[in-house]
Amino acid sequence: MTQGYRQNYAAAINDPAAFWLTNSADVQWQNPPQTALDESRAPLYSWFPDGTLNLTVSALDRHVAAGRGEQTALIYDSAMLGTVQKYSYAELLAQVEKFAGVLRDRGVSTGDRVLIYLPMIPQAVVAMLACARLGAVHSVVFGGFAPKELASRIDDATPVAVITASGGIEPSRRIEYLPAVAEALDRSQGSVRDVIVAHREGFEHALAEYSQRPETWSDWDELASRATAAAAVPVPSTHPLYVLYTSGTTGAPKGVVRDTGGYATALTYSMKAIFDVRPGDTMFTASDVGWVVGHSYIVYAPLLAGATTVLYEGKPVGTPDAGVFGRIIEQHRVTTMFTAPTALRAIRRADPQGELWASHDLSSLRALFVAGERLDPDTYHYAANLLNIPVVDNWWQTESGWPIAANPLGLDDLDRKPGSPSTPVPGFNVQIRDAVGEPVEQGIEGNIVIQLPLPPGALTTLWGNDQRFIDTYLSQLEGFYLTGDSGFFDQDGYLFVMGRTDDVINVSGHRLSTGAMEQVLSAHPAVAECAVIGVNDRLKGQRPVGYVVLKSGAEIDEVTLRSELVAMMREHIGAVADFREVSVVAALPKTRSGKILRKTMRQIADGKEFQIPSTIEDASVIDELIPLLRTTN
């Protein structure tokens, strides 16, 4: 490692207050902070407690004031509609000011919550920024969530308004949003006064159908035509910017709270230090604004950096083919891209040689960042060989708000190790501890924990429930945040994240990582993606069972494949794994953000009660797997 990274990391760990106070100067404050960290309520910490700002001033106004108002801020690229719209910084600022005026006129004020339930359309970005401009707290819920899940989030956040659209467009169907919103409101406790609807053509249900409801339902464009621009409202740095509910929650939803000044500081730093994105660059993050990656790296961070951000409505394959990301890179001269391993695996499955990507001019692309699921070495090599640029695995969580571990391209281009998200990012004091909280040696897998205080940008609490935040994340090891993931450091200080702690299985007294087993299976040339789960075994405690999806065009019979995979596991993990069972499946169950539902698979295999997460992408995949999973016991 060279000094840029070493110096930053040492400074952030040894004197975090001084380090982050210096970096906060890259944000435009109304009253710059003089104090970095408030520790008076530990283990609840606050960053920059005496600073005031409005985040949209840093993200929009200052770029316009600096003479860059005509630079493109937002590119809306809809593969579903076959259209592209571009918004300059001046145009986006005007839209945000106008819609903030709409919200103000409807009685929304600082501290009020506003729930945003929108597809990947420009209004989603405008609505988020308009809330921030007023100091209202937005809570974005992934478009297409079932009414029951939407209602639980409404009851927890108690928003005064809901912003939605006629519906969302999928490759094979259109999803009607208005009936879902109405049903969710009927299920909820009645905090919502206003529903604002962005009209889209081609949907069955219209705004007029809801005129007799207790809430006021209004058309976005009609309200905007009468509104005047709203000025930016300064708020304390500690003021909540948004509440984001973690995916797949059961019972009471878990609302991650993000502050304003700490988040702005962390994202601004991350764009320089990690992503190496500069003013005028173009960043394409293939995610959804309903997820944390979309909040941070579609909406806020690119605009804070003065870059252009691409908002993509479509899929990595099928809209129209597995080369669509290449088309976007070429058409919009993308310099930095961010996607999930699941998307790369889907592309690789459909286009094993990468010919569709390679048919486009990819020369503008400097780096590809990948996060959301474990990036297995085989998928890493596929992308690296295809693009011939740095492929940067990075690991983080909804709770952290920005990468915990990554190769910091803006500081140093460190050597990359397939299977590792490289090193902890400056600010995150990452350690590995065993089950009783003791440090473990290099190379030994254990619980990944982060020493408190967490850096700016990380969650400050859970909405309305400080004690639940402490009990969930901070109580198991005093002075540390428990990530819930397991992993290890190698001799060079590189972190290897092997999966959730409940993905470590016990086979005849041996603790084994299903993540390590998945890396073995994914290295087979016929395997596109895979999952390994541990199922109950009366003799051994647990035994590993594998499920693999084949690449498009792979020609190998299942008996031969099973034999080869078992042999590979014996070679790389050893006989101790006792790996003998593997099945070929058409697809693996995933959330819409790309996470494989291993826990649900394990519950089904063990004959336990299970609940299909509301975030599942295709519930029929689970239905098809149930007979296969239940034969394992």
Residue 512 has pLDDT above 80, yes or no: no
pLDDT value for 173: 86
Lowest mean pLDDT among 122-126, 361-365, 578-582: 578-582
Contact at 8 Å (CB) between 388 and 401?
no
Look up the CATH architecture of domain 508-632.
Answer: 2-Layer Sandwich (3.30)
Residue 438 has pLDDT above 80, yes or no: yes
pLDDT-based confidence at 633, cuts 50/70/90? low
pLDDT value for 503: 67
**Average confidence score pLDDT of the chain:** 92
Q: What gap in Å lies between CA 294 and CA 54, rounded to an integer?
A: 20
pLDDT-based confidence at 108, cuts 50/70/90? very high
In a 10 Å sphere around its CB, with 0-12 CB exposed, 13-18 middle and 19+ buried, how is residue 206 labelled? Answer: exposed
Residue 251 has pLDDT above 60, yes or no: no
CB atoms within 10 A of CB 170: 15
Domain ranges of the chain: 3-314+394-487, 508-632
Nearest to 633 by CA among 508, 534, 502: 534
Task: Choose the most confident range, by mean pLDDT, from 9-18, 529-538, 542-551.
Answer: 9-18
pLDDT value for 508: 64
Q: Which residue has the tokens 């048919």?
A: 359
CB atoms within 10 A of CB 434: 12
pLDDT value for 440: 93
This prediction's pTM: 0.86
pLDDT-based confidence at 502, cuts 50/70/90? low
Nearest to 500 by CA among 524, 533, 451, 523: 533
Question: Tokens for 416?
Answer: 């990359």
pLDDT-based confidence at 420, cuts 50/70/90? very high
CATH class of 3-314+394-487: alpha beta
Contact at 8 Å (CB) between 563 and 259?
no
pLDDT value for 519: 85
Residue 504 has pLDDT above 80, yes or no: no
Full DSSP string of 326-341: HHHHHHHT-SEEEE-H
pLDDT-based confidence at 510, cuts 50/70/90? low
Name the 3-class secondary structure at 123. helix
Phi and psi at residue 512, to the nearest 5°: -130, 145
Nearest to 189 by CA among 142, 135, 152: 152
Name the 3-class secondary structure at 614. coil
Residue 543 has pLDDT above 70, yes or no: yes
Question: Tokens for 617?
Answer: 């992408």
